[in-house]
Amino acid sequence: MTRAALADGRELIYFDAPGAPPRVPSPDPRTLAPRPATPRLRRDPLTGDWVTVASARQNRAFLPPAEFDPLAPQTPTNPSEIPDDYEVAVFENRSPSFGPGLGEPAKTGGLEQVRDAVGRCEVVCFSPDRTGSFATQTERRARTIIDAWAQRTAELSAMDGVEQVVVFENRGVEIGVTLHHPHGQIYAYPYVTPRTRALLDQVRAHGGDLQGDVLASELAGPRVVAQTDRWVAYVPFAARWPIELHVQPRRRIPDLAAIDDDERTELAGLSLRLLRAVDALYGTPTPYIAAWHQAPVREGRDDVRLTWQITSPRRAVDRLKYLAGSEAAMGAWVADIVPEAGAERLREALARVDADAARFDADEAARDGDGSDE
């Protein structure tokens, strides 16, 4: 891991695979405008939810041509965000929803509550390649990405004012992606997110290890898609999305910072297989959101289990599920695909992915054996 700074003071961190030579980062030669002020949060008095008002995000890059890729290594004609070639790179978002301010937020009371949106938003560049996704990376690079996620989770969790850290990848313009470059993001929130608040309420009502009990139930049922010694992937009992997959470690841990070396290695291989299976469902790249749900920083550490949730609105080759009246207006979901059927389709797709990988390995071994690569 090598730390550097961009021209406007934002932090840039290079993550290299074990055994890579020491890195001496190049300076960022650009002249950049000052960073935008920390956005403001407004509290919805009807729901209690916090809404970030971050108008500077209106100016962020939107599907630029490949020669002006802001996440590729800098060239004389492309003054991107990253001065050097890299394995995996993480930097502070230029147009953040939270931060750069940290600490106790300034706030107002009353019906219309307002406070500073302290925290941090980071971009995780999976590869210097200009196209692809997490699924197109090698297993070695996937492991480096997982190491980066774990390190950033630990460091961001220790920052003043941060209450929860969420790691995610948005893939596909149908999801709203504004850059084609393979990348993900990390949000360090100044509050516990509504989804996690609802989970904590259910855990307390259950009176025990709710997610552990759910995992045990899924392991005994028909919706398991894949499992290893340390991880389980399943379609949940009440799946909302046409494609929905939850991935959990078998042991009870709160976040990515807590996964051990063996779990990271196993996850690198399993995660690629699962995302490639999602693409294999229809034979073409599938839009998705892959988000790591982690325990809050200061509460529920023993109640919330680390879970990777992969969801996609794709319900057919050329059809998407749109959140219309019932879901968007009322939060009342209507599922288009029976979860057990969804699990079976994913198992079949995973089998095809594994068979293709086995054939590739056999062909490579045959080529090596007959010396055809000489």
Q: Please report, for the domain that includes residue 243, its CATH number.
A: 3.30.428.10
Judge if 300 and 209 occupy the same domain.
Answer: yes
Q: What is the pLDDT of residue 364?
A: 75
Judge if 84 and 143 occupy the same domain.
Answer: yes
Q: For residue 368, is pLDDT > 80?
A: no
Q: For residue 63, is pLDDT > 90?
A: no
Q: What is the pLDDT of residue 374?
A: 46
Cα gap 234→270, rounded to integer Å? 13
More confident residue, 363 or 142: 142
Q: What is the pLDDT of residue 370?
A: 73
Please give the residue range of the domain that contains residue 343: 196-370
Instruction: Examine the fold and report which residue of 192, 208, 225 is the final residue of a domain before the chain moves on.
Output: 192
Judge if 50 and 103 occupy the same domain.
Answer: yes
Judge if 288 and 360 occupy the same domain.
Answer: yes
Judge if 22 and 144 occupy the same domain.
Answer: yes
Q: What is the mean pLDDT of the chain?
A: 94
Judge if 154 and 215 occupy the same domain.
Answer: no
* pLDDT confidence band for 367 (50 / 70 / 90): confident
- Lowest-pLDDT range of 87-91, 101-105, 215-219: 101-105
Judge if 181 and 213 occupy the same domain.
Answer: no
Judge if 143 and 221 occupy the same domain.
Answer: no
Judge if 75 and 102 occupy the same domain.
Answer: yes
Hey, which residues are catalytic here?
Answer: 183
Instruction: Examine the fold and report which residue of 192, 207, 227 is the final residue of a domain before the chain moves on.
Output: 192
pLDDT more than 90, % of the chain: 87
Instruction: Examine the fold and report which residue of 161, 192, 223 is the final residue of a domain before the chain moves on.
Output: 192
Judge if 301 and 238 occupy the same domain.
Answer: yes
Q: For residue 85, is pLDDT > 70?
A: yes
pLDDT in tens, 200-215: 999 999 999 999 999 9
Q: How many domains would you assign to the chain? A: 2
Judge if 227 and 311 occupy the same domain.
Answer: yes
Judge if 147 and 36 occupy the same domain.
Answer: yes
- Lowest-pLDDT range of 127-131, 292-296, 351-355, 359-363: 359-363
Please give the C-alpha separations between residue 185 and each of 114, 153, 166, 241, in angstroms, as whole numbers.
25, 12, 8, 22
Is pTM beyond 0.75? Reply is yes
